């Protein structure tokens, strides 16, 4: 299988972590988002949504959406599991992941930031404030949730990494790159540090990818 | 269990459809988003993210995020299944659902539209254009995907409704409410019509909810 990837895509970063945790190797193709390769006919033919990541299977099926890819990897390579066995616990992990995947990240995506500038003529300062606003709002809610729930452990859920951690670490990396103050989120920061101490997370970092600039 | 709901929330609408398809009844609590009830201390204590839907279980656990709730319902009430049995097919259904849940809907959420107006002083016409832009972009990609893939049937995946349909119908309802032209999306429109002919979908529509205005 082949992963369509871009070093700075935090959605692709989630999948890189999951692949590393599973010990699964995928062929890599790099889609240069800043150069607009995702809009080209060739990539649109592979993934009509024009986003990364996408995972092309050997039979030609292309799985889109980071979370769908990670769930697929978890179903086809069950060890180590990235979701707990219990339905309630699985729901908690998916809820945390989706708070990032569906609430924070999409609003701060590259294409949204570009639309703010090109169509709405928003200046750089207001665009940066926009970016920081949605991260802060989402992180504050996650911090409140994780700090008060007993299921939170060394990681977002218990004592081993799950889908939720695969999503948290790239989002905090984005936050740091945008100079967002993470001091108000001690639980998130503690979990992030625990994750980044593991090679599966560290090796998936943007700076360590072959297409890093 | 109790569903925190709002008639016009398309994320809550997804869950209402899933509950109906499963034949599961939940107690309902209505969170008036336009009046800001989701920001109040009482609701934040239940769901720190301040969004609907949320599903409170009888043991006190609160499941957040529509897709996490639907996956939970599917795991705890397996019939009729809302995801196929095969891992590749499951990935396809989740990918379609997430194209809506993570790519289209969050950018057009109420809180984002409000920020455009209050913080960026975007006028109503530009805000409406923003709303229509992200729906059109996402629908065009979904139309391309669904029209060319052989797994598409009467519904998004095959001959019975799945998680993907639970997400598609509310998104198209939003599009219609914003007067977005759906003519360029004949496959999406055909699937939407097939869904809305089913009582499970029709009964979940915003206008049929007790809190509808």
Give the 3-state secondary structure of chain B: CEEEECCCCHHHHHHHHHHHHHCCCCEEEECCCCCCHHHCHHHHHHCCCCCCCEEECCCCCEEECHHHHHHHHHHHCCCCCCCCCCHHHHHHHHHHHHHHHHHHHHHHCHHHHHHHHHCCCCCHHHHHHHHHHHHHHHHHHHHHHHHHCCCCCCCCCCCCCCHHHHHHHHHHHHHHHCCCCCCCCHHHHHHHHHHHCCHHHHCCCHHHCCCCC
Residues A115/B130, Cβ–Cβ less than 8 Å: yes
Residue B194: partners with Cβ closer than 8 Å, 6 or more residues away: B154, B155
A128 vs A120: CA distance, rounded Å: 14
Interface test with A, best of B9, B24, B49, B62 (most A CBs within 10 A): B49
- Contact across the interface for A90 and B75, Cβ inside 8 Å: yes
CA–CA dist A89, B72 (Å, integer) = 9
The CATH code belonging to domain A87-201 is 1.20.1050.10
Q: Who's near B68: CB < 8 A, 6+ residues apart? A: A91, A92, A94, A95, A98
Residue A34: pLDDT over 90: no
Q: Check B145 against A48: CB less than 8 A apart.
A: yes
Residue A101 at interface with chain B, using a CB cutoff of 8 Å? yes
Count of CA atoms in the C-beta half-sphere (13 A) of A68 = 28
Between CA A91 and CA A44 the distance in angstroms is 33
Q: Does A40 touch chain B (CB under 8 A)?
A: no
Minimal Cα–Cα distance from B12 to chain A, Å? Answer: 14
Token pair belonging to A9:
């895509």
CB A1 within 8 A of CB A60: no
pLDDT band at B70 (very low <50, low <70, confident <90, very high): very high
In chain A, the residue whose alpha carbon lies closest to the alpha carbon of B100 is: A102
pTM of the predicted model as reported, rounded to 2 decimal places: 0.97
Whether A72 and B61 lie within 8 Å, measured CB to CB: no
3-state secondary structure of A123: coil
Shortest CB distance from B144 goes to which of A48, A71, A129? A48
Of the partner residues B71, B92, B126, the one whose CB lies closest to the CB of residue A94: B71
Please tell me the distance in Å from B201's CA to the nearest CA on chain A. Answer: 23
Residues 5-34 of A with CB under 8 A from B: none
φ, ψ of residue B56 to 5 degrees: the values are -90, 120
Query: Which residues of chain B neighbour A44 with C-beta distances below 8 Å?
Result: 144
Residue B146: exposed, middle, or buried by beta-carbon count in 10 A (0-12, 13-18, 19+)? buried
Same fold, A2-80 and A87-201: no
| Residue B2 pLDDT | 97
- Give mean pLDDT, residues A66-91: 98
In this prediction, residues B62-76 reach a mean pLDDT of 98
Say yes or no for a CB contact (<8 Å) between A72 and B65: no
Please name the member of A44, A68, A133 whose beta carbon is closest to the beta carbon of B95. A68
Nearest CB to B91 within list A59, A71, A122: A71
CATH of domain B2-80: 3.40.30.10
Give residue-wise pLDDT tens across range B75-87: 999 999 999 999 9
- Residue B161 structure tokens: 């409704």
Q: Please give the Cα distance from A153 to A160 (Å, whole number).
A: 8
The answer, for A61 touching chain B at a CB cutoff of 8 Å, is yes
CA B30 to chain centre: 17
Nearest CA-CA partner of A26 in A73, A94, A64, A71: A73
Alpha helices in A85-211 (DSSP H): 87-98, 110-118, 124-148, 163-177, 186-196, 199-202
What is residue B37's predicted lDDT score, i.e. its pLDDT? 84
Neighbours of B24 (CB within 10 A): 13
Domain spans of chain B, in order of start: 2-80, 87-201
Q: Is B145 on the interface with A (CB under 8 A)?
A: yes
* Predicted confidence (pLDDT) at residue A38 exceeds the cutoff of 90: no
Whether the predicted pLDDT of B203 surpasses 90: yes
Q: What is the pLDDT of residues A127-157, one digit of tens each?
A: 999 999 999 999 999 999 999 999 999 999 9
Average model confidence (pLDDT) for chain A? 96
Those residues whose C-beta lies under 8 Å from the C-beta of residue B70, and which sit 6 or more positions away, are B14, B15, B18, B82, B163, B166
Q: Give percent of chain B above pLDDT 90.
A: 92
Residue B129 has pLDDT above 90, yes or no: yes
A95, A144, A145 ranked by CB distance to B68: nearest? A95
Ordered alpha helix ranges (H), A3-109: 10-22, 41-46, 66-76, 87-98
Buried b (16+ CB within 10 A) or exposed e, A175-213: beeeebebeebebbeebbebbeebebbeebbbeebeeee
**Å between A59 CA and nearest CA of chain B:** 10
């Amino acid at each position: 299988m082949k992963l369509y990837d871009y070093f700075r895509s935090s959605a692709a970063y989630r999948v890189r972590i999951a692949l590393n945790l599973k010990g699964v190797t995928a062929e890599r193709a790099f889609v240069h988002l800043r150069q607009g390769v995702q809009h080209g006919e060739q990539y649109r033919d592979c993934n009509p949504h024009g986003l990364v990541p996408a995972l092309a299977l050997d039979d030609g099926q292309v799985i889109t959406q980071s979370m769908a890819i990670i769930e697929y990897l978890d179903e086809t390579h069950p060890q180590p599991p990235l979701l707990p066995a219990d339905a309630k616990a699985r729901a908690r992990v998916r809820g945390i992941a989706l708070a990032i995947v569906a609430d924070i990240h999409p609003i701060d995506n590259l294409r949204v930031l570009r639309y703010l500038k090109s169509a709405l003529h928003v200046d750089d300062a207001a665009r940066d404030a926009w970016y920081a606003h949605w991260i802060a709002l989402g992180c504050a809610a996650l911090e409140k949730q994780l700090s008060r729930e007993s299921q939170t452990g060394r990681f977002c859920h218990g004592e081993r990494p799950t889908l939720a951690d695969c999503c948290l670490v790239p989002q905090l990396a984005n936050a740091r790159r945008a100079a967002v103050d993470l001091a108000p989120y001690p639980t998130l920061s503690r979990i992030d540090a625990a994750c980044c101490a593991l090679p599966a997370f560290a090796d998936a970092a943007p700076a360590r990818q072959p297409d890093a600039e």
